[in-house]
A and B are shown apart, each in its own frame.
Chain A
């Protein structure tokens, strides 16, 4: 049981390049999230999805796009990378949060550097 797997774990981009981060979960979770974490700061929600085929904006969505074509996968895309997007990106998944707060399961993170 792998849990939440993120690829790639490290990437260096030049300004203006595009890339996609892949998140895969094998726990049959409905909800998936993308967060970014900058040095000394907490996690900020970029986009999230409450089910296959649905996505929604979080706190800092600008400059990113997402897709959830399959329940187990959540993709985060950067169309034109900027140095301000240098960060560590974490994917998470959870069961639907009705009633008890769903525990979030996180991946190991993807460290992105934009030069």
Chain B
């Protein structure tokens, strides 16, 4: 059964770089790795997606090693507004495509 594992929580200070790592158990060959961000009282929103190596957008970078068993979301120079829960859901492709979210990583950025 596809499943991901990530730390429950992390603390950081404004201006620091934050790296959140996710383990991808049983990731399928065709699966991409996607990260979401969720603020209180809102639905999760897409941050970044990748398949292999490194992907960068205006918000974050995503590092994926060659074996694709893990991924690291990197947030450069975080601010207070980056305080949120970050998810790296698993894709379960048996019996239809469905996205399985775990508890996510609660990032708290301090001033």
Chain A residues close to B by CB (< 8 Å): 4, 31, 33, 35, 40-45, 48, 50, 56, 58-59, 90, 92, 94, 96-109
Chain B binding site: helix, strand, loop or mixed by DSSP?
Answer: loop
Residues of chain B at interface, number, CB under 8 A: 28
Which residues of B from 21 to 56 have beta carbons under 8 Å from A?
30-34, 36, 41-46, 49, 51
Instruction: Report yes or no: B101 in contact with A42, Cβ–Cβ below 8 A.
Output: yes
25 A-B pairs in the complex with CB atoms less than 8 angstroms apart: A33-B98, A33-B99, A35-B101, A40-B103, A45-B98, A45-B100, A56-B95, A56-B96, A96-B97, A97-B91, A97-B97, A97-B99, A98-B30, A100-B51, A101-B34, A101-B91, A103-B46, A103-B49, A104-B44, A104-B46, A104-B99, A106-B43, A107-B43, A108-B43, A109-B41
Distance between A51 CB and nearest chain B CB, rounded to angstroms: 10
- Residues on A with C-beta less than 8 A from B85 are 42
Count of CB-CB pairs between chains A and B under 8 Å: 70
Instruction: Report yes or no: A103 in contact with B97, Cβ–Cβ below 8 A.
Output: no
B87 within 8 Å of A by Cβ?
Answer: yes
Query: Given A44-B101, A50-B96, A97-B97 in contact, is the A106-B44 Cβ separation under 8 Å?
Result: yes
Query: Given A100-B32, A101-B32 in contact, is the A50-B44 Cβ separation under 8 Å?
Result: no
Q: Tell me the nearest residue of chain B to A35, going by C-beta.
A: B101
Distance between B76 CB and nearest chain A CB, rounded to angstroms: 22
Distance between B96 CB and nearest chain A CB, rounded to angstroms: 5
Q: Which of B95, B101, B102, B103 has the most CB of A within 10 A?
A: B101
Q: Tell me the nearest residue of chain A to B106, going by C-beta.
A: A40
- Residues on B with C-beta less than 8 A from A98 are 30, 97
